[in-house]
């Protein structure tokens, strides 16, 4: 591949690639006539490793050494001195969060997807959501609120994270018999926390049915009647979509069907019997309990 093609693939500039070659000796193993850089698949793979380590927070020199030597970067987290001397520094949360934020800002799809996928595989959905995805979402939200910018970043991260979370939520009959129905309140588009919940439940072997964003009240009722779920989880992100009447009017409530609510949009007292959940692990527990799945 040419330097331009590799640059496009990695989402860095061609001059960055040339600098890495000069400074850290990580470049093409061959040159074509006329001395143009030509990268073979092994060269590209090494550069991808280096790029990912940088986006996860490693200094370029260390990332290059790790990519070239196949060795791991030394632990730099001061809390972990002593024991874990050979773990990746990048596993420390702040560095990884910064790295994800940087990759998101650059709209670097492969790195964002890989970072999220890796975090989910290694640490589980709850930790990936609470320590990595949600903090970056919140900072994007703040930036947007302050400047009116970053809408493309918000859409991009939501879309990529949603796809990764959906991919680890295989449709399965599930352990507890009846599934849980996951839905956003009418007109609410903030479905991402539902995908996090679906994925976290799948880790526990609990099956869900995803209705996603902006579910009209009538459609929610129809879905409840069609599949007879053991529980319904309804998310509202915004006050204007937090009409508690929707919770009240779900057909077949109590004792057969448990209704669980989550999200900052629900204001005021919830109807009797509706359980409000504060966090992702809290919601997982509430659903497990409602479906009678042992902890
Ligand atoms: C991603 C995002 C979007 C995406 C959603 C994509 C998707 N598929 O989900 C898109 C681009 C569609 C979107 C659209 C809009 N958005 Co928006 N969005 C966000 C963003 C960045 C993250 C949302 C999210 O996932 N939050 C979940 C976690 C990350 O955040 P949290 O609320 O802090 O979580 C708390 C609790 O809820 C709980 N928690 C966290 N995770 C979980 C999980 C479970 C299961 C449970 C139970 C609890 C829980 O713990 C946290 C601490 O209290 C937020 C910023 C923010 N701070 O949330 C804005 C934000 C929610 N959006 C906002 C707005 C205004 C909009 C739009 C109106 C913008 C517009 N002008 O079009 C539209 C609304 C469209 C609609 N009708 O719904 C405002 C809402 C303001 C308000 N209070 O009403 C926010 C807060 C941004 C801001 N600062 O202005 N948005």
The reply to whether ligand 1 has any atom less than 6 angstroms from the CB of 201 is no
Split into its structural domains, the chain has a count of: 3
From the alpha carbon of 264, which atom of ligand 1 is closest? 37
* Residue 55 belongs to domain spanning: 1-74
Work out the percent of the chain whose per-residue pLDDT is above 90: 55
How far, in Å, from the CA of 190 to the mean position of ligand 1? 6
| 106/55 Cα distance (integer angstroms) | 10
Q: Is residue 81 part of a domain?
A: no
Confidence (pTM): 0.77
Measured in residues, the chain has a length of 295
* Residue where a domain terminates, one of 74, 105, 130: 74
Of residues 129 and 171, the one with the higher pLDDT is 129
Read off the tokens for 179: 């599934």
CA dist 97 and 173 (Å) reads 34
Which domain CATH number covers 186?
Answer: 3.40.50.280
Q: Contact at 8 Å (CB) between 234 and 184?
A: yes
Residue 189 CA to ligand 1 center (angstroms) comes to 9
Counting from 1 in the atom list of ligand 1, the atom nearest the Cα of 238 is 84
Residue of 190, 214, 266 to test ligand 1 pocket, by largest number of atoms within 8 Å of CB: 190
- Measured CA to CA, the distance from residue 234 to residue 242 in angstroms comes to 10
Task: Answer whether residue 194 shows pLDDT above 50.
Answer: yes
Unique residue bearing structure tokens 């400047």: 147
Are residues 97 and 45 both part of a single domain?
no
Taking a C-beta distance cutoff of 8 angstroms, is the pair 144, 137 a contact?
Answer: no
pLDDT average, residue stretch 76-85? 38
Q: Whole-angstrom Cα distance, residue 172 to residue 166?
A: 13
- Nearest CA to 248 out of 223, 271, 230 is that of 271
pLDDT tens, 133-173? Answer: 998 998 888 888 877 888 999 999 999 999 999 999 987 76
* Residue that wins the pLDDT comparison between 99 and 86: 99
Residue 70 has pLDDT above 60, yes or no: no
């Amino acid at each position: 591949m040419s330097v331009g093609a590799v640059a496009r693939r990695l989402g860095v500039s061609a001059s960055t690639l040339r600098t890495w070659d000069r400074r850290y000796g990580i470049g093409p193993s061959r040159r074509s006539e006329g001395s143009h850089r030509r990268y073979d698949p092994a060269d590209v793979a090494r550069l991808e490793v280096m790029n990912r380590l940088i986006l996860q927070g490693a200094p370029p020199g260390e990332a290059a050494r790790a990519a070239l030597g196949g060795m791991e970067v030394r632990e730099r987290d001061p809390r972990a001195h002593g024991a874990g001397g050979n773990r990746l520094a990048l596993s420390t949360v702040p560095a990884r969060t910064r790295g994800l934020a940087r990759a998101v800002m650059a709209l670097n799809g492969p790195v964002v997807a890989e970072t999220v996928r890796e975090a989910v595989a290694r640490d589980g959905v709850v930790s990936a959501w609470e320590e990595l995805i949600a903090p970056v979402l919140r900072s994007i939200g703040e930036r947007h609120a302050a400047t009116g910018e970053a809408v493309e970043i918000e859409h991009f991260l939501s879309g990529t994270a949603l796809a990764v979370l959906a991919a680890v939520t295989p449709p399965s009959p599930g352990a507890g018999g009846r599934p849980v129905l996951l839905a956003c309140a009418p007109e609410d588009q903030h479905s991402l926390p539902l995908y996090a919940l679906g994925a976290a439940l799948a880790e526990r072997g609990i099956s869900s049915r995803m209705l996603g964003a902006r579910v009209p009240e009538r459609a929610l009722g129809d879905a409840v009647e069609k599949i007879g779920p053991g529980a319904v989880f309804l998310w509202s992100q915004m006050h204007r979509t937090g009409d508690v009447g929707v919770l009240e009017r779900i057909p077949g409530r109590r004792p057969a069907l448990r209704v669980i609510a989550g999200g900052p949009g629900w204001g005021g007292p919830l109807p009797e019997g509706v359980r409000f959940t504060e966090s992702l692990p809290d919601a997982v527990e509430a659903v497990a309990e409602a479906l009678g799945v042992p902890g």
